[in-house]
A and B are shown apart, each in its own frame.
Chain A
Amino acid sequence: MSFLEVLYFIVPSAIFYAAPLIFTAIGGVFSERSGVINIGLEGLMVMGAFIGILFNLTFVGTFGAMTPWVSILAAMVVSGIFAIMHAVATISFRADQTISGVAINMLGVAIALFSVKLIYGKGQTDYIQERFIRFDIPFLSDIPVLGPMFFKDVYSTSILAIIVAIGAWFVIYKTPFGLRLRAVGEHPMAADTMGVNVTKMRYVAVILSGMLAGIGGAVYAQSISGEFSHSTINGQGFMALAAMIFGKWHPLGAAGAALFFGFAQALSIIGGQIPYIDQVPSYYLHILPYVLTILAVAGFIGKAHAPKASGIPYIKGKR
């Protein structure tokens, strides 16, 4: 395999593995920008993956080839509703945001596995028949070098992920809503004084993060794993969280970091098929994403600061 062939092989895989992380990391950006830490991304992703598979298996006869897309919508709605729990706890009930997030993670896994056993009578679901499929983008895939790398055999979900990242950047930096969102996360009292409804903004942001994490989970389940079991979502939510920190709480930065983690994940899975890398014991490839995450958050690639009010409940009238 020549170097270029290796690139043609690994770049699409990296983007493929990055797509779920991009959705979820953008969700994290919305939540944290509004001042609510969301460790629960993992649990919300689990919920999204479970609902995605459940919906896909149940309605494949009705929707046919469109099933994965409808399943994503279903996962988005359910994870959005699930995120309301986190919102109520952290915003209205002033719960410790990290602890509430941990509870959401445990609850997501527990509810999903409980339901799988309830519905299917066993620990994992069947494999879905309708998955997301690859396709070539017309014209663009004919470009030399770049074509085979980025536009051949792509998943539409990867394209959607990039669009969502750019959309999130536009919303957060170019719209009044985004300005209010950032204000609420940096200095809620000032925002409140200017007539911004802090509570409402934070609710919207947390629910948005749930919806995006749900999409991320459903995309992962329907393009990568193809079924749901206890190990389907295995730290991807935390990786998305790290991507968000690595990306300095910026949607495009988070998407870039997610691509990087996608690359690490892809390497750990398909590394055995690439010359030289197949010489590396699989153990090192397996721990690579996690080690890179630690290096990333340790700031070896640049220091960043969280939104100022992140992690602090807003109590009206308290200085």
Chain B
Amino acid sequence: MPNRVVNILVPVISVILGLLVGAVVMLISGYDPVAGYSALWNGIFGDAYTIGETIRQITPYILSGLAVAFAFRTGLFNIGVEGQLLVGWFAAAYVGIAFDLPMYIHLPLSILAAAVAGGLWAFLPGLLKAKLQVHEVIVTIMMNYIALHTTNVLIRMVANGGETTEAIKETASLKSAFFESMTDFSRLHYGIFIALAMVLVMWFILEKTTTGFELKAVGFNKHASDYAGMNVNKNIILSMVISGAFAGLAGAMEALGTFQYASVKGGFTGIGFDGIAVALLGANTPLGVVFGATLFGALKFGSLNMPNAAGIPVEIVSIVIALIIFFVACGYIIRYFLVKKNNKKEAK
């Protein structure tokens, strides 16, 4: 079996295994897995509205997946996407509310603000990693909590003590009357085009620029890159900042597209953490991220239909997603069985 096929089979088998174990969990818990999964299916593809909402959910997943994947390619594990997304969300909403500008300036400015905020939030972990060899995982996790508290305080300030800011100006909105009419007034917005454009941007940076080559080289072998004259520290920081910018954009999707405001949060959105799953399933490639985001975004939105239609808690889908990550991480053993089975066939 060619390596390429194995590389594609591993995530596919992981997804199937994840769904199977999810079904077993439902069975043990006394739920009907068939009813559960059909409720999930209807929650994703039921009608024009749910399809619109599913694509809406996929949009930030693409960006958070890109964020995780981009850092991974430089050998960095950015668990801080969640926090970078939150600061991006706030920045976009703030610019969207505070300024009165024509749309062709206001909208790009709001989006840019989110990217800059996310990038800045990721700058510190990158700097600490580059200069002091501090493991980025712990720092980014802590930055998540700091982001949660900080944005909550800022949102209260902008909202004059309330829990929710006013709506952003129409000139900063990604709302799409066209999509609304097509999908029975779902919240699907133009952000999906931004997300897909960023997929191209990531591909371009990694495959067509010297910077991208250096970033990947640092990911493969830090010491060799250093020996070849590349500035490893600069590349580590740059990679984190670009990754953070993608994460910030994911926040902009929520601020300017889905919700049109920012609100005080009791906990994390989960989009950033699920970005890890998206990137992993997509093997950290731009195109793979699109597939991963489509799967997880659909699962996540579809699961909302499960409590109503089948009486099953939505967390079942979180279990399935966690299991899929787990199985992809255990890719070695799946590979082992695939190759072994294949060798037996060839021996015959």
Number of A residues near B (Cβ < 8 Å) is 41
Contacting pair A103 B135 (CB below 8 A) = no
Contacting pair A95 B332 (CB below 8 A) = yes
11 CB-based A-B contacts, threshold 8 Å:
A85-B326, A93-B330, A99-B328, A102-B276, A103-B325, A103-B326, A106-B325, A114-B315, A118-B313, A298-B128, A299-B134
Q: Which residues between 114 and 146 of chain B lie within 8 Å of chain A, taking CB atoms?
A: 128, 132, 134-135, 137-139, 141-143, 145-146
Does any Cβ of B come within 8 Å of A245's Cβ? Answer: yes
Contacting pair B315 A117 (CB below 8 A) = yes
Shortest Cβ gap from A200 to chain B (Å): 19
Shortest Cβ gap from A205 to chain B (Å): 19
Shortest Cβ gap from B163 to chain A (Å): 16
A231 in contact with B267 given A102-B325, A242-B142, A245-B138 (CB within 8 Å): yes
Q: Indicate the member of A234, A238, A290, A291 with the most B CB atoms within 10 Å.
A: A290
Within the assembled complex, what's the spacing in Å between the Cα atoms of A102 and B329? 10
Contact partner of B142 (CB less than 8 A), chosen from A39, A103, A110, A290, is A290
B85-93, B177-185, B190-198, B316-324: which lies at the interface: B316-324
Does any Cβ of B come within 8 Å of A81's Cβ? Answer: no
Contacting pair A89 B142 (CB below 8 A) = no
A103 in contact with B322 given A98-B77, A114-B316, A117-B313 (CB within 8 Å): yes
Interface residues of A (CB under 8 A from B): 39, 85, 89, 92-96, 98-100, 102-104, 106-107, 109-111, 113-114, 117-118, 230-231, 234-235, 238, 241-242, 245, 283, 286-287, 290-291, 293-294, 297-299
Contact partner of A96 (CB less than 8 A), chosen from B150, B322, B329, is B329
Contacts of B319 in A (CB 8 A): 107, 110-111, 114
3 residue pairs, one from A and one from B, having the closest CB atoms: A110-B318, A106-B322, A117-B313
Q: Which residues between 238 and 283 of chain B lie within 8 Å of chain A, taking CB atoms?
A: 266-267, 273, 276-277, 280
Contacting pair B132 A299 (CB below 8 A) = yes
**B145 closest partner in A (C-beta):** A290
Contact partner of B137 (CB less than 8 A), chosen from A39, A95, A109, A298, is A39
Contacts of A96 in B (CB 8 A): 329
Q: Indicate the member of A104, A106, A242, A293 with the most B CB atoms within 10 Å.
A: A106
Contacting pair A287 B149 (CB below 8 A) = yes
Within the assembled complex, what's the spacing in Å between the Cα atoms of A102 and B279? 13
Within the assembled complex, what's the spacing in Å between the Cα atoms of A103 and B17? 15
Within the assembled complex, what's the spacing in Å between the Cα atoms of A305 and B22? 40
**A300 closest partner in B (C-beta):** B132
**A245 closest partner in B (C-beta):** B138
Within the assembled complex, what's the spacing in Å between the Cα atoms of A26 and B134? 21
Does any Cβ of A come within 8 Å of B79's Cβ? Answer: yes
With A39-B137, A107-B319 known, 12 other A-B pairs at CB within 8 A are A85-B326, A89-B330, A93-B330, A94-B333, A95-B329, A100-B329, A110-B319, A114-B25, A114-B29, A118-B313, A234-B267, A241-B138
Contacting pair A297 B329 (CB below 8 A) = no
Contacts of A231 in B (CB 8 A): 266-267
Interface string of B300-326 (1 = CB under 8 A from A): 000000000000010110110111011
Interface string of B9-35 (1 = CB under 8 A from A): 000000000000000010001000000
